[in-house]
Amino acid sequence: MHISDDEFERAIEQVLDDLPERFARVLENVGIVVADEPNERELATMSNPCGELLGLYEGIPVTKRTTGYSGVMPDVITLFKGPHERVCSTQAELRQRIRKTVLHEIGHFFGFDDEYLHSHGY
């Protein structure tokens, strides 16, 4: 399955546009970036090294921030295009997987761990 860079980015933007305002407002200081493939450092974060890394949240979840939280770089969510293309076989499946990955990584920003997110379908 292949998708253009523009289509991949538009699919991500659509997910973000569909977020309820109360969640979208909190994400204003979170960078969302796209990369073709994860690098070695990013791959090392995987709990299951046999799968594909579709996305990665890097930052301090809002649930772990203290009153001393200030002057830090914005959190970053990276979405990896190549792995998405490899795990999907149709456009519809790809768009659904992008949606699921974006919401999964946003879930980490809100403090949810992988076990919780997977048990709720993300």
- Helical segments of the chain, H only: 5-17, 21-26, 40-43, 81-87, 91-109, 114-119
Amino acid at 119: S
SS3 labels along 35-60 = ECCCCHHHHCCCCCCCCCCCEEEECC
Q: Which of 38, 41, 40 is nearest to 81 (CA)?
A: 38
Q: Is the dihedral of CA 50, 54, 59, 63 positive or negative?
A: negative
pLDDT above 90 as % of the chain: 68
Q: What is the band of 114 on the pLDDT scale with cuts at 50, 70, 90?
A: confident
Task: Check residue 73 and give its pLDDT.
Answer: 83
Please give the structure tokens belonging to residue 46. Answer: 């995987």
| CATH code that applies to domain 5-63+70-119 | 3.30.2010.20
Contacts of residue 87, Cβ cutoff 8 Å, sequence gap at least 6: 52, 54, 97
| Three-state DSSP state, 79 | strand
- What is the tens place of the pLDDT at every residue in 78-97? 999 999 999 999 999 999 99
Q: Which of 90, 99, 79 is nearest to 35 (CA)?
A: 79
Q: Where are the domains of the chain?
A: 5-63+70-119
- What is the tens place of the pLDDT at every residue in 36-64? 999 999 999 887 766 899 999 999 898 88
